[in-house]
Amino acid sequence: MISEIDRVLSLRYAFVYADYRLLIPTTGEEIIEDIQDAFRFVANSKLPGNGYTFKLDGDGIAVSGNSAGGLCARLATIHARPRPKVLIDIYGQGGNFFVSRYH
Amino acid sequence: MTHMTLTYHLRVFTVMSHRPYHETQYLLSFSEYIVCLTLSVKIFKLLSSNISRKEHSRHTAHTLETMAQYTTLEYKKLNGSEPVLMDVYSPTLAPTKDVISLPIVMFFHGGALTVGHRRSYLPNWLKGVFDTPRNTVSRIIYLNDLGNRPCVVP
């Protein structure tokens, strides 16, 4: 079976699957921090390929995620730099996670 | 934590030596205690060395129903010690010493913001779903000009 990752790679894109801290005791702001840091790292680092090294092609960066990852992806388009050119929102969820109950 | 580990080992010794638990609960001989301690340290070292060896080397992601190669990188440190990691999957290209420019797709896992990790919840079951125009659950939003880059989702 060909996965989503293989399809992305076959089009000569790199695919980065990042961890982020999870809610409680982590807050919404800290999740956004992680997303921003992941983007900053990817944009400013030389990344390892198989037998080569690569860097981000200008600002050619897309963001995607499913469910809560869809919300993270959406937040990335607002808060992360370089700003993603494409958002692929896969049944993204979203809510009031800035309300006081999560702080 | 140390107390719990010690109690656990005491229980194990009780079973092994067929002595009633209440008799041996805090009556380990010094040599038995040393054996316990040495064993647990050895096991801990073995486990932790395996974990650190796993990071920063190339792997094949069998669990995500793909044979794609990835490298695990640390993209930040929390409080100066706790690493936050990302897996970098790269396309198969001819080896070269030059630094190649590649567009990147970032992905974040689902899990209600409370569960999951970077190897979980990749939506492989969505393959082909985007082909149907009536699908309104997921959407692709082009925020900017893609240039001449190919579209990932058909």
DSSP letters spanning chain A: ---HHHHHHHTT-EEEEE----BTTB-HHHHHHHHHHHHHHHHHS-EE-SSSEEEEEEEEEEEEEETHHHHHHHHHHHH-SSPPSEEEEES-----TTSGGG-
pLDDT of residue B38: 79
User: Is the same domain home to B126 and B66?
Assistant: yes
Q: Do B107 and A71 touch (CB under 8 A)?
A: no
B23 domain-assigned: yes
User: Is the same domain home to B86 and B118?
Assistant: yes
pTM: 0.67
pLDDT of residue B48: 62
Q: Print pLDDT tens along chain B (154 aa).
A: 445 554 454 454 444 555 555 554 555 667 777 776 777 777 777 666 554 444 456 666 554 455 678 899 999 999 888 899 999 999 999 999 999 999 999 999 999 889 998 887 676 655 555 544 444 445 555 555 555 665 555 4
Which chain B residue is nearest to residue A33, measuring alpha carbons? B76
B149 domain-assigned: no
pLDDT of residue A1: 41
User: Which amino acid, residue B70?
Assistant: Y
User: Is the same domain home to B63 and B49?
Assistant: no
B114 domain-assigned: yes
User: Is the same domain home to B64 and B125?
Assistant: yes
Q: What is the number of CB-based contacts under 8 A between chain A and chain B?
A: 278
pLDDT of residue B134: 46
Q: pLDDT digit string (tens) for A44-95? A: 999 999 899 999 999 899 999 988 999 999 999 999 999 999 988 888 887 6
Q: How many CA atoms lie within 13 A of A41 on its CB side?
A: 23
User: Is the same domain home to B41 and B64?
Assistant: no
B50 domain-assigned: yes
pLDDT of residue B31: 74
Q: Do A52 and B67 touch (CB under 8 A)?
A: no
Nearest CA to A40 among A92, A89, A79, A5?
A79
Min distance A100 CA to chain B CA atoms (Å): 16
User: Is the same domain home to B80 and B110?
Assistant: yes
pLDDT of residue B18: 55
User: Is the same domain home to B89 and B64?
Assistant: yes
**Contacts A11 to B, Cβ<8 Å:** 91, 150, 152
Min distance B60 CA to chain A CA atoms (Å): 12
Q: Do A16 and B104 touch (CB under 8 A)?
A: yes
Who among B76, B87, B124 is closest to A37 (CB)?
A: B76
Domain that holds residue B20: 2-54
Q: Which residue did the predictor score with more confidence, B45 or A6?
A: A6
B144 domain-assigned: no
pLDDT of residue A75: 93
User: Is the same domain home to B63 and B108?
Assistant: yes
**Contacts B141 to A, Cβ<8 Å:** 86-89
